[in-house]
Amino acid sequence: MKARAFDYVRVSTIDDALAACARASGDFCYLAGGQSVVPSLSLRLQAPQLVIDISRIKEMRGIALIDGALRIGALTRHAEMLISPEIARHAPLLRLAAPHIAHPAIRNKGTIGGSIALADPAAEFPAVVLALDAELEIAGPDGRRRAKADGFFKGIYETGLEPGEILTAIIVPQFGENDRCAFDELARRHGDYALVGCAIQGRFAGNDVEAIRIAFLSAGPTQKRARNAEVVITGHRLSPKTIADAQSALELDLDPTEDEQTTATMRLHLARVLLGRVLGQFSCDSPRGGGRA
Amino acid sequence: MSVLASVSITVNGQVVQALVEPRTSLADFLRNDLGLTGTHLGCEMGVCGACLVLLEDRAVHACLMYAVQAHGLGVETIEGLSERRAIADLQQAFHERNALQCGFCTPGVLVTAYELLSNGACPSRAEIRDALSGNYCRCTGYEAIVDAIGQVARGRAKVPNTPAGCKIGSDTDETVS
Amino acid sequence: MSLSPHKPDSPNALIGRSVARPNAKRLLAGRGRYVTDIQLPRMLHAAFVRSPYAHANIVSIDTSCAATMRGVCLVATGEDLAKLCKPWVGTLDHFAGMKSPPQLPLAVGKVVWAGQAVVAVVAGTRAQAEDAIEHVAIEFEELEPVIDIDAARAIDATLINPDLGSNVAFHAKIESGNVEDAFRDAAAVIEKAYLFGRHTAVTLEPRAIIADYDPTEERLTVHHSTQTPYQFQDLYSRHYGLREARVRVVAPDVGGSFGMKLHVYHEDMAVVGLSIMSGRPVKFVADRIESFVSDIHARDHRIKARIAVEADGIIRGMDVDDVTAVGPFSTYPRTSVVEGNQVVRLIGAPYRFRNYRANLDVVFQNKVQTSQYRAVGHPIAFAVTEALVDSAARKLGIDPFEMRRRNIVTQDMYPYTSPTGYKFERLSHEACLDKLHALMDYPRLRREQAEFRRRGIHRGIGIAMFVEITNPSPAFYGVGGARISAQDGAVVKVTPSGEVHCLISVGEHGQGTETIVGQIIAEQLGIPMDAVRVFTGDTDITPHGGANWACRGAGIGGETALQAGRALKRNLLAVAAIILQARLEDLDMRDGEVVDAATGIPRISLAEIARICYFRSDTLPRDVTPQLSVAHHYSPKGYPFAFTNGVQACHVEVDVETGFVKILKVWVVEDCGRIINPMLVEEQVRGGVVQGLGAAFFEECLYSDNGQLRNGSLADYLVPMAGEMPDIEIAHVETPTLDTELGAKGCGEAGTAAASAAAMNAVNDAIAPLGVSVSQIPMTPQRLLRVLGYA
């Protein structure tokens, strides 16, 4: 399990990264936290001729509230989500999801940008940014752009990133007074990729759910919002009937896949059970972030 | 054949300069080039925890990074932690409680324990088990490891080995009402 | 000279004490020395091109491109190594009629499982060897793979080994009493099919070997992560035609073994040949992906079984059909049929019914070989037995404890011979059941369970009894023609300062062998533990012996140490008697001194005796030549095996909506005879239980229809981790074997033997109110959801 030989360049700015990419004569890949890239190179599942180390780009670091939105540098490590006061205050859903990501040492190195750019269908943060209605800040050979998280995840390991583009930051709308969120997943063991996971963020008006975004992970080829379930819930209070209707709606929302762990039918069943449980934690009475953290 | 990269890494407090193939993992570099064989390889994909080392005092998998990525940074291995007596209490508790058998997972487990307890934390048994969720041990069944870490946490907190002060060991996961 | 275990307060007493392992400090400091750590001068690294197909002919191999790659020193094919290595056949004479084809290090002509090594590349670094294997071109012609157990036995089945005439490796039948009558007149009969998936050992240190052949002396040194260095000394010598005395096998620190590291692996045999071919040390460390497709797997049984009971719960008989699939051939040199054989011979072992019938079929299939792994056959045998007993109890409305009390072999029945021919010297089922009942506070748990059920929470309690085979005599392998020793040897010698070295043939893999041997030697000689240094695992240094398998280290190795220590003590007292002009029988040894046995008054120190003997032998009488080194061998001569026993309980909570199971707690009461070190026994049991729980809930090698292992990585194959494992409470009953002076039996497999059985019973107890049950392990969420009607 040793990687094929490659050349390595470490860059300190986004522009340098893009320049290195422009100069690359063959296959290349970006390396940030490396927690998924390195094993895939070790297994020789990919064998780039050039590895561009972007992990020390300062402008891709840091968490700051700018113009009412939280800008989270793409190199922010999973572990930072657990201790950052800004995250706890303005994007608590990230705080709720982070403990579910792998193990402490992976969280010390893995980055949110890497997780989103890789788009493993079982990863937590892609579902979270969908639920958060986040925007993604992207730099590429053709300049800088922003993309909505909605529509970014296109398939297994497939995103809206064009060749050479780098995800540089995640922009999250500030958490409002009446906002609530919840996250949970069903994983065989602590830190395993979940059989199914669910992230919810929404806003209450009194006891009624004024708006809600529900996103699933491990429930199909890519992270996906459960739009029919959202419609069922929006404008209603979370009664057992509303929850049951939302659970039923998942059949239309999800396209569960089959793997070693479970069949598609069972995955849909588990998604329904999980939705019921996560909605149980998503309540106007709960502290600002419900769910198991 | 790729271009060799020049690295300068502070390993266990000493600056090490070397030319490495970029594809050389930090684990292979530590083990093969520096003879620091206390860092073990069990899966080479970041799942078993046998290769945990400290990078800038945070536990990371040495199999999940290349030596070149550590350029300019500080790496500490089980050998370094042992020699500066940073984990002497953990090592003693592990020894007395027999919290290891074959010993192959042990350096990684100790790195996890070092980080878990580094901020003066007084974790519960469930929290210790959760912190160990990335450390595979085939021999012990984990209980002795949890016991030993809990004992050290209590010792560092200067709390008597009773459940009263620090909550370690008092919580069983069995909530009976 | 009496054995102090009987009086633990005696001055020298170390047997029975929880002494911490002296050698563990090294491992805690990262100073372990595993084969993976060793680098020899001019050492090369091997990597293997593996078959992508489960069953295929090899049409052509082109190594020309690989051979010219940077760093590559040698590329070898199956034909190349076949010129050096004699083939091996994994059969033993005492398994009458068993068949297996000859094997060679690398595939010749044909591959029989996906992952089989076909071509070896030896290069300066492992990375270079991996670079080169990508450039070996092999053309295969796919054959129909035999994957399914039924397909293997079909009349028109593709034959994996056409020369053998069928895909059946072994067949055995046991018939005892009158099974037909027992079932005809029974008050109740329960019949079920049980499925046990394949799992594998996943030692954290993978298989690792360095072969170093020195052509100038025709000497082979092999550093090998193995349990059985002597066995491999014999095998390397015979299969490569080397003088046995010039083959040295060293097992340094071993990072886990569990039965997996005592079989012949093709790559390991190849590495010896590659070193002979290159004249340089060659290292092979299986990476984790290679481990999954080349380490032995275990289990893989499909069992149909039925039990007949009286209305009062008395078992009338059992009837069992076990089909197990073992891979494309039988493993060498211990075979792949031992597990099935032990399954059918252990079923029902705790109980006293006499009507028993079993049918065993061992079949070939195109998957990696299976063979002995921790608790060989036991988990299967007791899962089936205990599931049947629980089912019968449930049907008759009898409490599981009571059901077992009514059926166990009781104290008045020993020595007892089971219907399958196993001879039990003395077991302690009643005492273990009583102790477990109290330990777990069974009545409270049942009350609590009822309370939880009212709230819709499904908790379950499962009990499982077990009997374990330990201390095997030559009846295990030797009688079948295997050159696998059932005896052990030790050399005990005094250093000039009066300290003691013990060189012994049982090895240390973290279970604490060196510690207990040290305890035993120190106690015999009346010296402190830290004055004893124990050496293991080097065929050039330690006497020939069986080493580590089948729970023999404490019982046989321990007795070897005890007898060797006593022999040395006799020698020391003899010379002390001469020096002191005292009567030998008036002397004893305590605290490093020869003392007056009656008063304990010190007469002369061991150091002084050693000084006189080594440096001033001129002061001793002419006819006295003190023997301060003793070589001693011990072989079990009484019962063919020392059986142990115990009972486990498992407490679980089943989430009936998701099929997830939370393991709340496990209790074990075990009887391994004389306990040398309670802490080490308990940690063996805990580790064993967790391996059993892994099998019960998580671990399974999943194959596709065409024979590809689908989850062959540590990310996909789920081993038990800390977060899901429970605390495990342990208590002991001590029934020493009278076959030895030490009285110790084995304990390493007790935990694994019944953990999955107790777990399955616990899950079934939890879901019984829903009218369903599970009879397959691992009990995954998907399988539980299926029985719960969600699919």
Please judge whether C721 and A195 are an interchain contact, meaning their C-beta atoms are less than 8 angstroms apart.
Answer: no
Distance from C-alpha of C674 to C-alpha of C739, rounded to nearest angstrom:
12
One-character DSSP codes across C73-89: EEEEEHHHHHTTS--EE
Question: Any CB–CB contact under 8 A between C288 and chain B?
Answer: yes
Domain co-membership, A167 together with A71: yes
Neighbours of C176 (CB within 10 A): 17
Return the partners of chain B (3 or more C-beta pairs < 8 Å).
A, C
Residues whose CB is less than 8 angstroms from the CB of residue C101 and which lie 6 or more positions away in sequence, other chains included: C89, C161, C163, C164, C328, C329
Q: Do A34 and B64 touch (CB under 8 A)?
A: yes
Domain map (residue ranges) of chain B: 5-81, 87-156
> Residues B131, A104: contact at Cβ < 8 Å?
yes
Cβ pair C510:B100 closer than 8 A:
yes
Contacts of B136 in chain A (CB under 8 A): none
Closest residue in chain C to residue A190, using alpha carbons only: C723
Cα-Cα-Cα-Cα dihedral sign, residues A173, A175, A179, A180: positive
Confidence of residue C11 (pLDDT cuts 50, 70, 90): low
Q: For residue C319, what are the β-bridge partners?
A: C306, C357
Residue of C nearest to B141 (CA): C687
Q: Is residue A94 part of a domain?
A: yes
| Other CB atoms within 10 Å distance of the CB of residue C530 | 10
- Judge whether A5 is closer than 8 Å to chain B, CB to CB: yes
Instruction: Tokens for A193, please give them.
Output: 């990729």
User: Could you tell me the sign of the dihedral formed by the alpha carbons of A44, A46, A47, A52, in that order?
Assistant: negative
Cβ-defined contact of A104 to B61 (cutoff 8 Å): no
Band (B169; pLDDT cuts 50, 70, 90)? very low
Q: How far is B159 from chain A (nearest CA, A)?
A: 26
The nearest CA of chain A is from the CA of B101 a distance in Å of: 23
- How many C-beta atoms lie closer than 10 Å to residue C83's C-beta? 9
Instruction: For residues A183 and A204, state if they share a domain.
Output: yes
Residue C436 CB neighbour total at 10 angstroms? 25
pLDDT score for B136: 98
Distance CA A13, CA A70 (A): 21
Q: Is A76 in the same domain as A156? A: yes
Task: Decide if A287 is inside a domain.
Answer: no
Residue in B42, B98, B103 closest to C288 by CB: B42
Answer whether B48 sits within 8 Å of C714, measured CB to CB. Answer: yes
The minimal CB distance from B5 to the residues A4, A8, A189 is found for A8
pLDDT digits (tens, 9 = 90+) for C657-687: 999 999 999 999 999 999 999 999 999 999 9
Contacts of C127 in chain A (CB under 8 A): 2-3, 5
Q: Give pLDDT, residue A261.
A: 84
Q: Is B168's pLDDT higher than 60?
A: no
List of chain B residues whose C-beta atoms are within 8 Å of the C-beta of residue A7: 2-3, 22
For residue range A23-45, what is the model confidence (pLDDT) as tens digits?
A: 999 999 999 999 999 999 999 99
Look up residue C519 and give its two tokens. Answer: 């305890």
Q: What is the pLDDT of residues A135-184, one digit of tens each?
A: 999 999 999 999 999 999 999 999 999 999 999 999 999 999 999 999 99
CA torsion through residues C702, C706, C707, C708, sign: negative
3-class secondary structure, A30: strand
- CA-wise closest residue to C757 among C672, C653, C647, C645: C647
pLDDT at C193 over 80: yes
CA angle C516–C522–C523, rounded 5-degree value: 90
Q: What's the whole-number mean pLDDT along residues C174-197? A: 97
Closest to C716 (Cβ–Cβ): which among A43, A260, A266? A260
Domain match, A86 and A47 both: no
Q: CA dihedral in degrees (C283, C285, C291, C294; nearest 10)?
A: 0
Contact at 8 Å (CB) between C726 and C692? no
Q: Which residues on chain C are in Cβ contact (under 8 Å) with A195? A: 781
Nearest CA distance, C656 vs chain A (angstrom): 11
What are the beta bridge partners of residue C489?
A: C633
| Res A259 pLDDT > 90 | no
Q: Does domain B5-81 have CATH number 3.90.600.10?
A: no
The mean pLDDT value of chain C amounts to 96
For residue A46, the 8-state DSSP code is: -
Residue A185 structure tokens: 């997943």
Per-residue pLDDT averaged across C63-92, rounded?
Answer: 98
**Residues A253 and A183 placed together within one structural domain of the fold:** yes
Q: C442-496 pLDDT, tens per residue?
A: 999 999 999 999 999 999 999 999 999 999 999 889 999 999 999 999 999 999 9
Q: Residues C211-245: pLDDT tens digits?
A: 999 999 999 999 999 999 999 999 999 999 999 99
A64 Cβ contact list (under 8 Å, min separation 6): A70, A71, A86
Judge whether A189 lies within some domain.
yes
Edge to edge, the sheet with strand C727-732 lists C458-470, C642-655, C660-671, C727-732
User: Are A221 and A262 contained in the same domain?
Assistant: yes
The CATH number of domain B87-156, selected from 3.40.1390.10, 1.10.150.120, 3.30.70.20, 3.40.50.1220: 1.10.150.120
| Cα(C645)–Cα(C349) distance, integer angstroms | 10
What residues of chain A lie within 8 A of the CB of B22, using their CB?
5-8, 51
Residues of B in contact with A41 (CB under 8 A): 23
CB A4 to CB C131 under 8 A? yes
Structure tokens at C722: 């800390």
Q: Which residues face C357 on adjacent strands?
A: C175, C319
- Among A4, A189, A270, whose Cβ lies nearest the Cβ of C658? A270
A44 contact C CB<8A? yes
Domains held by chain A: number: 3
Please name the member of B2, B58, B60 whose beta carbon is closest to the beta carbon of A5. B2
DSSP one-letter string for C261-318: GGS--HHHHHHHHHHHHHTS-EEEE--HHHHHHHS-EEEEEEEEEEEEE-TTS-EEEE
Residue C84 Cα, gap to closest chain A Cα (Å): 29
- What distance in Å separates residue C383's CA from the closest CA in chain B? 20
Closest CA to C376 of C689, C759, C752: C752
On whether any CB of chain B is under 8 Å from the CB of C255, the answer is yes
- The dihedral built from the CA positions of residue B92, B97, B102 and B108, taken in this order, carries a sign that is negative
Among the candidates A111, A145, A173, a domain finishes at A173
Residue B82: pLDDT over 70: yes
pLDDT at residue C561, as a whole number: 98
The answer to whether residue C8 scores a pLDDT higher than 60 is no
- DSSP per residue over C394-442, as a string? HHHT--HHHHHHHHBPPGGG-SEE-TTS-EES---HHHHHHHHHHHTTH
CATH of residue A13's domain is: 3.30.43.10
The verdict on A166 and A183 lying in the same domain is: no
B23 and A4: CB-CB below 8 Å? yes
The CATH number of whichever domain residue A212 belongs to comes to 3.30.390.50
Cβ contact B2–A43 (<8 Å)? no
Nearest CB to A266: which of C130, C711, C791? C791
Residue C492 tokens read as 């005990």
| B104·C721 Cβ contact <8 A | no
Any B CB within 8 A of C375 CB:
no
Among A53, A73, A90, residue at a domain's last position: A53
Tokens matching residue C145 = 């793979």
The Cα C278–Cα C658 span in angstroms is: 57
Q: Which chains touch C (3 or more CB pairs under 8 A)?
A: A, B
Model pLDDT, residue C9: 57
Domain boundary among A125, A151, A173: A173
The CA distance from B103 to B109, in Å, is 10
Q: Are strands B5-11 and B74-76 parallel, antiparallel or unpaired?
A: parallel
Name the minimum distance, in Å, from the CA of A204 to any CA of chain B: 33
pLDDT score at B165: 41
pLDDT classification of C517: cutoffs 50, 70, 90: very high
Rounded to an integer, the average pLDDT of C549-562 is 96
**What sign does the dihedral A53-A59-A60-A62 (CA atoms) show?**
positive
Measure the CA angle with vertex C526, ends C525 and C531; round to 5°.
Answer: 80
pLDDT band at A283 (very low <50, low <70, confident <90, very high): confident
Question: B127 to chain C: nearest residue by CA?
Answer: C723
Q: Which pLDDT score is estimated for A287? A: 58
- d(CA C577, CA B120) in angstroms, rounded, equals 60
What pLDDT does C719 receive?
98
* Max intra-chain CA distance, chain C: 89
Average pLDDT over residues B71-99: 98
Report CB contact under 8 Å: A186, C785: no
Give the residue from A195, A24, A31 showing the smallest Cα distance to A100.
Answer: A195
Please identify which residue in the block is written with the tokens 């790729």: B2
Other C-beta atoms lying within 10 Å of the C-beta of residue A112: 29
Residues 50-69 (A) with a CB less than 8 A from some CB of B:
51, 53, 55
First CA to last CA across chain A, in angstroms?
Answer: 35
Same domain membership, residue A222 and residue A251: yes
Residue A106 within any structural domain of the chain: yes
Taking only residues 167 to 186 of chain A, the set having a beta carbon closer than 8 angstroms to any beta carbon of chain C reads: 186
Q: Report the chain C residue with the minimal C-alpha distance to residue B90.
A: C28
Residues C790, A269: C-beta atoms closer than 8 Å: yes
Whether residue C768 is predicted with pLDDT greater than 50 in this model: the reply is yes
CB pairs under 8 A between A and C: 62
Report how far residue A98's alpha carbon sits from residue B3's, in angstroms, rounded to the nearest whole number.
37
Assess if residue A1 is contained within a domain: no
**A145 CB-near residues (< 8 Å, 6+ apart):** A138
Which pLDDT does position A260 carry in this prediction? 82
Residues A154 and A210 in one domain: no
Query: Pick from C30, C662, C728: which is nearest to B79 by CB?
Result: C30
In a domain, A292, yes or no: no
Check pLDDT > 90 for residue B1.
no
**Per-residue CA distances from C585 to A120, C594, C607 (Å):** 77, 12, 21
Of C215, C233, C234, residue with least CA distance to C223 = C233
Kindly list the residues from chain B whose CB atom is less than 8 angstroms away from the CB atom of residue A44.
none
CB proximity list for B147: less than 8 A, separation 6 or greater: B97, B99, B169
A265 in reach of chain C (CB within 8 A) = yes
Is some CB atom of chain B closer than 8 A to the CB atom of A106?
yes
Phi, psi of B153 (to 5 degrees): -60, -45
pLDDT at B137 over 90: yes
Which pLDDT band, with edges at 50, 70 and 90, does B158 fall under?
A: confident
Cβ–Cβ of B95/C21 closer than 8 Å? yes
Give the one of C125, C131, C782 whose C-beta lies nearest to A262's C-beta: C782
Closest-CA residue of chain A to C701: A260
State phi, psi for C472 to the nearest 5 degrees.
-70, 140
Judged against a pLDDT cut of 70, whether residue B91 lies above it is answered with yes
Q: Which residues pair with A211 in a beta bridge?
A: A203
Q: Measured in whole angstroms, how far is the alpha carbon of residue C337 from the centre of its chain? A: 15
Structure tokens at B8: 């300068």
Calculate helix-pair angle for B88-97, B143-156, nearest 10 degrees. 140
Distance CA C155, CA C176 (A): 30
Taking CB atoms and an 8 Å cutoff, what residues of chain C touch B106? 27-28, 32
- The predicted model gives C134-159 an average pLDDT of 95
Question: A240: Cβ–Cβ under 8 A, 6 or more apart, which residues?
Answer: none
Q: What is the largest CA-CA distance in chain A?
A: 60
pLDDT band at B177 (very low <50, low <70, confident <90, very high): very low
Residue A237 pLDDT > 70: yes
**A162 and A187 belong to one structural domain:** no
What is the residue-wise DSSP string for B116-158? HHTT-----HHHHHHHGGG---SSS-SHHHHHHHHHHHHHHTT
Range of the domain at A77: 59-173
Q: What are the residue ranges of helices labelled H in chain B?
A: 26-28, 78-83, 88-97, 106-117, 125-131, 143-156
pLDDT band, very low/low/confident/very high, at A85 (cuts 50, 70, 90)? very high
Which candidate from A2, A4, A266 shows the least CB-CB separation from C782? Answer: A266
Q: Is the pTM of this model over 0.90?
A: yes
Residues of C in contact with B50 (CB under 8 A): 204
From the candidates A269, A274, A277, which should be mutated to test the interface with C, based on the most C CB atoms within 10 A?
A269
Helix C513-525 vs helix C558-580: crossing angle, to nearest 10? 30
Using the beta-carbon criterion (under 8 Å), do A5 and C288 form an inter-chain contact? Answer: no
**Alpha-carbon gap, residue B46 to A107, rounded angstroms:** 11
pLDDT on residue C450 = 98
User: What's the whole-number mean pLDDT along residues C318-344?
Assistant: 97
By C-alpha distance, which of C470, C476, C505, C463 is closest to C674? C470
Give the whole-angstrom CA distance, residue C679 versus residue C511: 11
